Amino acid sequence: MSDLQIGLILLGVVLILAVLVFNWWQDWRVRQKMRDQFPEREDDPLMGAPAATAVRREPGLGLSPQPVTLDDDADDPDEVDPATEVVIDVSFAQSVGSAELYEAVKGITRVGTKPVRVFAEREGGGHRAWIRPAESYVSVQLAVLLANRSGPLTDIEWSQLWTLAQSLADRFDGAVEGPEIEAVLERATALDAVCADLDAQVGLILKLNQPHQTESVFRVLEGVGFLRGDVQLAWMSDQGLPRFVVQFDGVPAGQFTGDHVQRLDFVLDVPKSPADEQAFSRMATVGRDLARRLDAVLLDDQGRPLPNHADDAVDQQLHALYMRLEEAGYPAGEPRTARLFS
């Protein structure tokens, strides 16, 4: 082999190494930019709270014991939300024990499309969002959501709740008290109108040029910072709330059962995501990076290529909506707001 051939081979090796180093450097720059904008969390909010933090329970009666830090004589902090819920009270003729009451109310979770929360008043005083062992109760309150994305509470749903309340009263020789149906439906319609004016979901589409294996897509998404839960695959905020989630071919990532993926959808649910002045541009930046990694095209929710100059304008529109939610008393990302926009 001549010196010229050896030199050409060495030159080729050097050029290949240079390309590899350049690609690595480009990849590192993108990752660093994304880390700067979206810092990682030490714990996985989708998989549970860290060991040192008490797990927060959603309000609703159950027989699980409360954390030992709670004062047994103090009221539970969760209570009826008068702005979004309407209540039917059931008062008992005699106090009812924990186990017996739990059996009576454990199946009361919703009427129609509306979730129901059950609260109880302890004998001797004390408001409970969770039944505690070895206590007795003198009344319960059935709190139903007045409106959600399925529309306002209907007369049928209200009648179903009243029937459940009457069954409890019959079981424990109690009495039922609640507002008139006309007033309830009027409130429900008014709240539904407010919600309709404040609701918004923004999406982006990542159309893959060829199908990818599902697990390989999961690895890429988790590699750039997405967190996998039981149902959602989400890009999380510092507060531990999803900023936006990913769907595989129109199905929540955690429920997708196919072997290959043809399309990814990014969904930003404005009322359920924490307020952010760069809500859309964060999602678009991640989408553009993934388009490069997965050989895909990033489109808007109408199926058109997403231009770079659109980010700021959409950010401003979403920020204005976040502010309107705040002014209306429903801050984005709060549990009560998420219930209302469920």
| Most confident of the following: 50-59, 129-138, 319-328 | 319-328
In 58-129, the DSSP E strands lie at: 85-97, 110-111, 114-122, 127-128
Q: Please report the pLDDT score of residue 47 as a whole number.
A: 34
Domain boundaries, the chain: 85-196, 199-340
Average pLDDT over residues 163-180: 97
pLDDT surpasses 60 at 25: no
Assess contact for 122 and 75: CB atoms under 8 A: no
Residue 325 near residue 332, CB atoms below 8 Å: yes
The pLDDT of 315-326, averaged and rounded, is 98
Residue 22 has pLDDT above 60, yes or no: no
Per-residue pLDDT tens for 273-290?
999 999 999 999 999 999
Fold classification of 199-340 (topology level): Cell Division Protein Zipa; Chain: A, (3.30.1400)
DSSP element (H, E) containing 277? none
CA 45 to chain centre: 11
Percent over 70 (pLDDT), the chain: 79
CA angle 133, 139, 145 (to 5 degrees): 100
22-31, 52-61, 244-253, 329-338, range with the lowest pLDDT: 52-61
Among candidate residues 81, 158, 78, the one with its CA nearest the CA of residue 114: 158
Taking residues 306-333, report their average pLDDT.
96
Domain 85-196 CATH assignment equals 1.10.287 = no
Domains 85-196 and 199-340 share a fold: yes
Condensed to tens digits (0 to 9), the pLDDT of residues 98-121 reads: 999 999 999 999 999 999 999 999
Q: Which residue has the higher pLDDT, 4 or 155?
A: 155
* pLDDT confidence of residue 295: 97
Question: Which residue, among 79, 78, 83, has the nearest Cα to 147 in the 3D structure?
Answer: 83
Instruction: Report whether 62 contacts 131 (CB < 8 A).
Output: yes
